[in-house]
Amino acid sequence: MFNLSKGEILRGKNDFNAVHNGGRSFANHALVILVVKDERYNGKVGFAAGKRLGGAVVRNRVKRLMREVYRLNKNSLRHDCAMILVGRKFLVTAKFKDAEKAFLDLCRRSKLLMS
């Protein structure tokens, strides 16, 4: 139901590059979402946190937070596109509700939510 299986996650440099180079980006204070509408990817998602956020512990926490926000809201998202979520400095100290609000705001702006 709400699981995030390995088949749903973008793997490999080629997949990340395809979404990064061919997609549109939407950003706010907490996240950047790169979206490419392509049936091949069938709703796959990738997560990224750059080194300027902090050490490995901090970056892993940011990615865990993004994964959980995505996992709980994935059933309300369209499945005909792929996306990459990139964390920003705000997520280092953010609570779950703040991260979820920022994610849903970007999903509305990028028209990823199913109507």
- Residue-wise pLDDT for 46-87, tens only, equals 999 999 999 999 999 999 999 999 999 999 999 899 999 999
- Predicted local confidence at residue 115, as pLDDT: 66
Q: Would you put residue 21 in left (φ > 0), alpha (ψ -120 to 50) or beta?
A: alpha
- pLDDT tier for residue 103 given thresholds of 50, 70 and 90: very high
* Number of domains within the chain: 1
DSSP assigned state of 93 = T
Enclosing H/E stretch for 31? strand 31-37
In a domain, 97, yes or no: yes
In a domain, 63, yes or no: yes
In a domain, 114, yes or no: no
For residue 42, give the CATH number of its domain.
Answer: 3.30.230.10
Q: List the beta bridge partners of residue 99.
A: none
- Pairing mode, strands 45-48 and 81-87: parallel
Contact 16, 34 (CB under 8 A): no
User: Which range of residues forms the domain containing residue 15?
Assistant: 8-109
- pLDDT tier for residue 43 given thresholds of 50, 70 and 90: confident
Alpha carbons 109 and 7: distance in angstroms, whole number: 26
In a domain, 90, yes or no: yes
Reduced to 3 states (helix: H, G, I; strand: E, B; else coil), residue 86 is: strand
In a domain, 115, yes or no: no
What are 81's two structure tokens? Answer: 């596109």
Q: What's the whole-number mean pLDDT along residues 1-18?
A: 85
- pLDDT tier for residue 40 given thresholds of 50, 70 and 90: confident
Q: What's the whole-number mean pLDDT along residues 83-99?
A: 97
